[in-house]
Amino acid sequence: MKVVIAGGSGLIGSALSKALLEAGHEPVVLSRGAPSAGAGAQVAGPTAAAAGATATGVDPSSTTSGKGASTGVRRVAWNPASLGDWVAELAGAGAVINLAGASIGHWPWTKGRKAELLNSRLTSTRALVNAIRTLPADERPKVFLSASGTDLYEGRDATPADETTEPVDTFLGKLCVAWEAEALRAIDLGLRVVLVRTSPVIAPGAASLRIEALPFRLFVGGRLGSGKQWSSWVDVTDIVGIYLWALATDGVSGPINATAPDPRPQVDFARALGAALHRPSWFPTPAFMIRLLLGDQATLAIGSRRVWPAAALAGGYVFQRPRLEDSLANALGHGSRS
């Protein structure tokens, strides 16, 4: 099956496109950084070869040119702000996966950056749905899997939050709700829509894990704030597994919490991180210091998210790395650069 992945050049998209390829599918990554048809046609000689540029704007090898691109995965240029040649890639595809959006983790969250976090997601999602609308009904993809975050459960942690838990009114909560609303418009076009509410992904080389690991590597790691806030997480194997499962399972639609069945108080998370790195976890960072440094973005470190993958478990998804210690050992194990 041809599967078009918008924003598929990043952490999740690279692992997912590799897995799709291995499963015999044809992943195609829409990337703002892929050579465009015009640019490809203009680039000549060795430079063109080095950039993998072609006259169609398609990079057939994606071996070294794209950040995080998987070998053998085609990359196609797109501009989420306008419908262009990329729309043709959606015609006849079996599914579209939407991962595009400016990185939430980048510091600092200025007013402009917050607008970009929201607008990049709304614009990309709207562009995909509008593009699908231009296709004849029999050429439309059947499934639309769209990323979202478990941030919409922040603080709703008296009991583990499942997919029926009401979203919160924070910046990230409202961002997720607006992002999902754009994706749900694809239902009217006859598509099965799945909202993949994703917890922070633990993966070898993940930027967020590198940052979290740094103080431990320097022997000054410990809990963040009180450490009582809940940390939810998902292993990269399982975020990929959940996308593949949602793609293949006709009965799956609506929100799915992509989170391991092992949320932990942050103090436990810190201890597990220290143990995986063979380092102590003795030095707490006070909440006021985190707020001083990060401002609103402190929510990523000291906000509480106690999330449960109720729909995935009820639907028969079997987690491959359900335990935090195993996930951290895999991500930070021998030979990892995280």
Ligand X SMILES: NC(=O)c1ccc[n+]([C@@H]2O[C@H](COP(=O)([O-])OP(=O)(O)OC[C@H]3O[C@@H](n4cnc5c(N)ncnc54)[C@H](OP(=O)(O)O)[C@@H]3O)[C@@H](O)[C@H]2O)c1
* Binding residues vs ligand X (CB under 6 A): 7, 9-13, 31-33, 80, 99-104, 120, 124, 147, 149, 198, 200-201
Q: How far is the CB of 147 from ligand X (least distance, A)?
A: 4
Q: Give me the residue label for tokens 């940390």.
A: 231
* CA distances in angstroms from 213 to 199, 202, 216, 231, 316, listed in the order given: 18, 12, 5, 15, 33
Residue nearest ligand X by beta-carbon distance: 10
Residues in contact with 55: Cβ distance below 8 Å, sequence separation at least 6, in sequence order: 37, 40, 41
For residue 188, the Cα-to-chain-centroid distance in whole angstroms is 25
Nearer to ligand X, 183 or 201 (CB): 201
Nearer to ligand X, 114 or 226 (CB): 114
Alpha-carbon distance of 321 to 179, in angstroms, equals 28
Q: How far is the CB of 102 from ligand X (least distance, A)?
A: 4
Asked whether the beta carbons of 14 and 62 are under 8 A apart, the reply is no
Q: How far is the CB of 303 from ligand X (least distance, A)?
A: 13
Q: Which of 3, 62, 60 is nearest to 27 (CA)?
A: 3
Alpha-carbon distance of 7 to 67, in angstroms, equals 11
Q: How far is the CB of 139 from ligand X (least distance, A)?
A: 24
What residues pair up with 336 in beta bridges, in sequence order?
Answer: none
Nearer to ligand X, 41 or 122 (CB): 122
Nearer to ligand X, 7 or 227 (CB): 7
Q: How far is the CB of 331 from ligand X (least distance, A)?
A: 12
Nearer to ligand X, 93 or 209 (CB): 209
Q: How far is the CB of 282 from ligand X (least distance, A)?
A: 27
Q: How buried is residue 114: exposed, middle or buried, by Cβ count under 10 Å (0-12/13-18/19+)?
A: middle
The secondary structure of residue 161, as a DSSP letter, is B
Nearer to ligand X, 103 or 336 (CB): 103
Q: How far is the CB of 175 from ligand X (least distance, A)?
A: 9
Nearer to ligand X, 171 or 283 (CB): 171
Alpha-carbon distance of 55 to 264, in angstroms, equals 51
Ranges of beta strands (E only) in the chain are: 2-6, 26-31, 58-59, 74-77, 95-98, 143-149, 192-198, 201-202, 230-231, 234-235, 254-258, 264-265
Nearer to ligand X, 283 or 296 (CB): 296
Q: How far is the CB of 68 from ligand X (least distance, A)?
A: 7
